[in-house]
């Protein structure tokens, strides 16, 4: 049994020193996730503390017999805890800009629906508003009601990282959370589905509504995008 596994086992048995040691030895991982939420009105140290709470929850819930690398399991737990606080606190606050964009999008959608006699596509709305399809998607979903944060944020270990790979060194795993370079090389619609699905925690059903396509189509697009990402990252 590795030192990490020993500390996890001890922590799960109530050893507070082991829990503290785990946090200290994994502070880099916690910070790497916390940094992604900076600039939203919450102090970095507070984000880190929230990340630590998510990390401890990951320690408590980790199954040593499962065979999954702990850091892969911990990342969505850390991110989920921060997201939950920000949303409950209103810090994943719908900014004035997003609200204004959502209002513009809604009026444009209504106007185009009346003019065309059908629901306009996201591309048609994009041309009329000057917003990118992704900006439209984010504005609409940010101002819409939310479902269970636990289900949407990947609190059960659901993350793009888990989909793409099973075992990674900590550094490579953290780098791949962003996947920016690979995503930039995907076709626009595939990249949008991946960003909405894994970075903005939308369900396939919600993405389908945003893009005005069927859930089956979203599933196919997502599958193809993941295959491309695997190839790009090999």
Asked whether the beta carbons of 51 and 57 are under 8 A apart, the reply is no
pLDDT of 139 > 60? The answer is yes
pLDDT tens digits, 109-129: 889 989 998 888 777 888 899
How many CB atoms neighbour CB 230 within 10 A?
A: 13
The first and second tokens of residue 10, run together, are 């001890």
Contact 133, 121 (CB under 8 A): no
Q: What is the pLDDT of residues 58-99, one digit of tens each?
A: 898 888 886 667 887 788 888 888 887 877 655 445 566 777
What's this model's pTM, rounded to 2 decimal places?
Answer: 0.43
Which pLDDT score is estimated for 187? 84
């Amino acid at each position: 049994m590795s030192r990490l596994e020993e500390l996890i086992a001890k922590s799960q048995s109530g050893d507070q020193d082991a829990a503290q040691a785990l946090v200290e030895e994994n502070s880099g991982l916690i910070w790497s996730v916390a940094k992604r939420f900076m600039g939203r009105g919450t102090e970095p140290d507070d984000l880190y503390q929230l990340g630590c709470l998510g990390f401890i929850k990951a320690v408590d819930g980790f199954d040593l017999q499962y065979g999954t690398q702990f850091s892969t399991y911990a990342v969505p737990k850390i991110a989920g805890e921060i997201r939950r606080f920000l949303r409950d606190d209103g810090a994943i606050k719908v900014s004035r800009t997003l609200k204004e964009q959502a209002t513009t999008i809604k009026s444009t959608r209504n106007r185009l629906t009346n003019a065309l006699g059908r629901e306009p596509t996201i591309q048609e709305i994009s041309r009329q508003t000057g917003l990118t399809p992704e900006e439209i998607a984010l504005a609409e979903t940010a101002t819409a009601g939310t479902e269970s944060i636990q289900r949407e944020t990947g609190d059960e270990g659901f993350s793009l990282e888990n989909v793409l790979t099973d075992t990674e060194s900590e550094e490579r795993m953290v780098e791949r959370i962003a996947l920016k370079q690979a995503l930039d090389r995907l076709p626009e619609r595939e990249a949008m589905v991946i960003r909405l699905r894994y970075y903005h925690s939308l369900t396939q059903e919600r993405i389908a509504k945003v893009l005005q396509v069927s859930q089956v189509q979203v599933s196919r697009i997502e599958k193809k995008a993941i295959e491309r990402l695997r190839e790009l990252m090999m």
